[in-house]
């Protein structure tokens, strides 16, 4: 019987091959690899380990990244509309200026993550850990967008929120008062964000 392995070929959005090897994508180990600009759009990367990987400007739009590990990764400028990161780990991950619109981070660990200037509109952070995460202003004074995001039951102890923008649809954990943490209220317009 022939034992053939599947070939994993990771490419940028423009088609340039940046990594290839035999094996399965789900649960694969990519620790420490330079994967800047990698295109994982609509891929199932459940349980993959991207710890310490260079993934700036990566595309994870609609990706299934449940229980994946991104600890200490450089993911600046990540594009991940509607991705599923439920149960994933982003300890100390750099997500500066990332576009994460409508992504799900239920039960994910984003402790000490850098999220300044990120688009977190309509993201689901129910039960997530955001201890000491930085959701404040970016280097040019641009705000992190939290309109419509759900932080129900999230652990936000020590998180930095100064200048982040929220609206009447944003849900915070019980007992959290946005004005005491320097957030800026901006009513949503009749048009979508």
Q: Which residue has the tokens 């990698």?
A: 38
Q: Round to whole Å and give the CA distance between 122 and 104.
A: 9
For residue 137, is pLDDT > 50? Answer: yes
In a domain, 6, yes or no: no
User: Any idea what the CATH number is for the domain that residue 117 is in?
Assistant: 2.160.20.80
Which domain does 167 fall in, by range?
26-193
Encoding tokens for residue 37?
């600009």
In a domain, 9, yes or no: no
Q: Round to whole Å and give the CA distance between 51 and 180.
A: 34
In a domain, 10, yes or no: no
How far, in whole angstroms, is CA 90 from its chain's centroid? Answer: 8
103-135 tens-digit pLDDT: 999 999 999 999 999 999 999 999 999 999 999
In a domain, 168, yes or no: yes
Q: By three-state DSSP, how is residue 178 classified? A: helix
In a domain, 133, yes or no: yes
In a domain, 46, yes or no: yes
Q: Round to whole Å and give the CA distance between 175 and 163.
A: 20
The single-letter DSSP state of residue 82 is T
In a domain, 184, yes or no: yes
Domain count within the chain:
1
For residue 3, is pLDDT > 90? Answer: no
6-29 tens-digit pLDDT: 888 899 888 999 888 888 899 999
29-81 tens-digit pLDDT: 999 999 999 999 999 999 999 999 999 999 999 999 999 999 999 999 999 99
- Are the C-beta atoms of 12 and 18 separated by less than 8 Å? yes
In a domain, 58, yes or no: yes
């Amino acid at each position: 019987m022939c034992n053939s392995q599947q070939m994993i070929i990771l490419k940028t959005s423009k088609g340039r091959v940046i990594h290839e090897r035999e094996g399965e994508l789900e649960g694969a180990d990519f620790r420490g690899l330079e994967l800047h600009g990698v295109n994982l759009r609509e891929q199932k990367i459940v349980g993959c380990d991207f710890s310490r990987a260079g993934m700036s400007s990566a595309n994870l739009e609609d990706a299934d990244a449940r229980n994946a590990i991104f600890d200490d990764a450089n993911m600046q400028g990540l594009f991940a509309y509607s991705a599923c990161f439920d149960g994933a780990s982003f300890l100390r991950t750099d997500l500066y200026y990332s576009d994460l619109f409508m992504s799900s981070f239920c039960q994910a660990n984003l402790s000490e993550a850098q999220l300044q200037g990120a688009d977190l509109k309509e993201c689901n952070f129910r039960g997530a850990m955001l201890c000491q995460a930085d959701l404040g202003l970016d280097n040019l004074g641009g705000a992190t967008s939290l309109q419509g995001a759900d932080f129900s039951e999230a652990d936000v102890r020590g998180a930095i929120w100064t200048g982040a923008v929220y609206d009447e649809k944003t849900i915070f954990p019980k007992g959290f008062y946005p004005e005491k943490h320097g957030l800026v209220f901006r009513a949503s317009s009749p048009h979508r964000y």
